[in-house]
C-alpha cells in the first residue's frame, strides 16, 4: 500500500511541475503570437509572410507539445470500478470512425468473447488507451485506406483479457520497434511521442502489459493484456 501511495504522490508532484512549466511557456508563446500579429499588421512581403508562417507553425507545434506533456503527467492511480472492455471498444471504435470519416477503412470486430465480462479498472484511463491505439492504427494506413481488426479473448483460468488491434499499414522497422513507447520517440513526422508511452503507463498501473509485433509494409499488431482482478 505504501508503495502505491508513494507512486501516486510522485505522479502528482510531476504533474504539478509540468503544469507550472506549461503556464510559463504558454505566457512566452503568447508574447510571440502578439508580436507576430503586430508585424503582420505593419509589414507585408513574400519574404516576411514566409517567415511569419514558419514562426506560426512552430508556435502551434510547441503548444501541442506542451499540451501533450501536461496530459502525459496527469496520469494518476486508477479509480477502480467494474469496467466493461467490450463497451469501451465499441465507443472508441465509433469515435475513431467519426474522427477519420472519409477514410476507406474496413474494420473487423472480433471481440464478442469478452461481451458481458469486466475487469477492475479505471474506465476513463482504459478508454484513453484504446483511443490512442486505434488512432495509431488508422494513421499507419497508407493513402487513408486499409484494414483494421480488433479482437479479444478471455483466459478464464488466468483471469486475463487480451485485446489485439491489428492494421495492415506501413509497419515499424526493427530498429524503431525497439524504441517504441519511449517518451518523445515517434515515427510520425509531427508526432510528440507521448501517446503510446501513456498507454504503457496506464496498462502497467492496471497490472497489465502491452506487446507490439510489426513488420515493414505488412502492418502492426498491438496486444493489450489486462488482468480481470486488480492487484491493489
Closest C-alpha to 216, from 166, 155, 173, 163:
173
| Spatial contact of 213 and 221, defined as CB atoms under 8 Å apart | yes
| Spatial contact of 214 and 150, defined as CB atoms under 8 Å apart | no
Distance between CA atoms of residues 220 and 62, nearest Å: 29
| Spatial contact of 198 and 72, defined as CB atoms under 8 Å apart | yes
What pLDDT shows up at residue 3? 58
> The pTM is what?
0.73
pLDDT single digits (tens) 107-129: 999 999 999 999 999 999 999 99
What pLDDT shows up at residue 9? 62
What pLDDT shows up at residue 38? 85
β 104-110/145-155 pair status:
parallel
Q: Structural domains in the chain?
A: 2-73 (1.10.287), 81-227 (3.30.565.10)
3-state SS record for the chain: CHHHHHHHHHHHHHHHHHHHHHHHHHHHHHHHHHHHHHHHHHCCCHHHHHHHHHHHHHHHHHHHHHHHHHHHHCCCCCCCEEECHHHHHHHHHHHHHHHCCCCEEEEEEECHHHCCCCEEECHHHHHHHHHHHHHHHHHCCHHHEEEEEEEEEEECCCCEEEEEEEECCCCCCHHHHCCCCCCCCCCCCCCCCCHHHHHHHHHHHCCCEEEEEEECCCEEEEEEEEECCCCC
What is the edge-to-edge ordering of all strands in the sheet holding 145-155? 104-110, 145-155, 160-167, 219-227, 209-215
Regions of the chain where pLDDT drops below 70:
1-15, 17, 72, 184-194, 231-232
Amino acid at each position: 500500500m505504501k508503495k502505491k501511495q508513494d507512486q501516486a504522490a510522485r505522479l502528482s508532484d510531476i504533474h504539478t511541475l509540468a503544469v507550472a512549466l506549461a503556464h510559463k511557456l504558454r505566457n512566452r508563446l503568447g508574447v510571440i503570437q502578439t508580436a507576430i500579429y503586430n508585424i503582420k499588421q505593419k509589414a507585408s512581403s513574400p519574404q516576411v509572410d514566409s517567415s511569419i508562417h514558419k514562426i506560426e507553425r512552430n508556435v502551434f507545434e510547441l503548444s501541442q507539445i506542451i499540451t501533450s506533456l501536461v496530459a502525459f503527467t496527469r496520469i494518476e492511480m486508477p479509480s477502480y470500478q467494474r469496467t466493461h472492455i467490450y463497451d469501451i471498444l465499441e465507443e472508441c471504435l465509433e469515435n475513431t470512425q467519426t474522427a477519420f470519416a472519409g477514410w476507406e477503412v474496413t474494420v473487423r470486430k472480433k471481440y464478442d468473447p469478452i461481451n458481458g465480462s469486466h475487469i477492475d479498472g479505471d474506465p476513463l484511463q482504459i478508454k484513453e488507451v484504446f483511443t490512442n491505439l486505434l488512432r495509431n492504427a488508422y494513421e499507419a494506413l497508407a493513402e487513408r485506406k486499409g484494414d483494421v481488426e480488433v479482437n479479444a479473448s478471455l483466459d478464464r483460468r488466468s483471469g486475463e483479457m487480451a485485446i489485439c488491434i491489428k492494421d495492415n499499414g506501413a509497419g515499424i522497422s526493427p530498429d524503431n520497434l525497439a524504441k517504441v513507447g519511449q517518451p518523445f520517440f515517434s515515427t510520425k513526422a509531427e508526432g510528440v511521442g507521448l501517446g503510446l508511452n501513456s498507454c504503457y503507463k496506464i496498462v502497467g498501473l492496471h497490472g497489465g502489459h502491452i506487446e507490439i509485433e510489426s513488420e515493414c509494409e505488412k502492418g502492426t499488431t498491438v496486444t493489450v493484456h489486462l488482468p480481470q482482478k486488480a492487484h491493489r
